[in-house]
Amino acid sequence: MATGARDITLRFLAAPTDVAFIGSAAIAGGRVLEWIDKAAYACAVGWSGGYCVTAYVGNVNFTRPIQSGDIVEAHAQVVHTGRSSMHIEVTVSSTGPHHVNYTTATSCTVIFVAVGDQGRPIPVPQWNPVTADDRERDESAIDKIALRADIEAGRLHQVLPDYQLPEVTIYAVYPASQQLSAKIKVFNNFMAQHFAASTIFR
């Protein structure tokens, strides 16, 4: 089965229309996630040679903001393949227009599944790690698969079986002259249900 390139890099300008809000110079987090999705999709389609759908997005790590006017690189790379899935690591880096050294701003893991004409998963070309770095990334992807399975199955509550939350007093302050909003009522109910009876909540 023929394969395309294992990785792809998109390079573009962080435009003023990408900022979080008017008057801000920082790019909105949602726009960065959009770039991640585009780079990961292009990588998945290139590797599989067909249509793909997003199955998982996680391990998102924002390390610093990207500024309007920066030159951005979104690099996506296949690090593990299943029968029909592709685990893709995406790193978003940026630099000023007068600099050449890119520094990482965000990283993320995206899993795509290749689908056929009937909308059902189809096999993808298998990627086999070659270098030590390849093997480390492949093993990390496999470990994350097991971790997600544990989370979904609710098996992680035994990690700290003897840990006890300290007794604390929590105060919620809001104007007494106003009626409680729906959000505050939901918050109050949540706190009452999830904290021990000995905890004082006002």
98-129 pLDDT, tens digit per residue, is: 888 999 999 999 999 999 998 899 999 999 99
Of the CATH numbers 3.50.30.10, 3.10.20.30, 3.40.50.720, 3.10.129.10, which one belongs to the domain with range 7-157?
Answer: 3.10.129.10
Residue 104: beta bridge partners?
Answer: 93
Q: How confident is the model at residue 201, as a pLDDT?
A: 40
* Mean pLDDT, rounded, for 25-49: 94
Sign of CA pseudo-dihedral 105, 95, 35, 84: negative
Kindly report the pTM of this predicted structure: 0.72
Confidence tier at 165 by pLDDT (50, 70, 90): low
Q: How confident is the model at residue 168, as a pLDDT?
A: 54
* Least confident range of 60-74, 75-89, 159-173, 183-197: 159-173
* pLDDT over 50 at 61, yes or no: yes
39 torsion bin: left (phi>0), alpha (psi -120 to 50), beta (else) = alpha
* pLDDT over 80 at 5, yes or no: yes
* Mean pLDDT, rounded, for 191-198: 54
Show me where the domains of the chain are located.
7-157, 169-201
Identify the CA nearest to 36 among candidates 83, 99, 92: 92
Pairs from 138-142 (Cβ < 8 Å, separation ≥ 24)? 138/79, 138/80, 140/79, 141/79, 141/80, 141/87, 141/109, 142/80
Residue with tokens 């003897």: 162
* Mean pLDDT, rounded, for 161-167: 54
CA gap 154, 156 in Å, rounded: 6
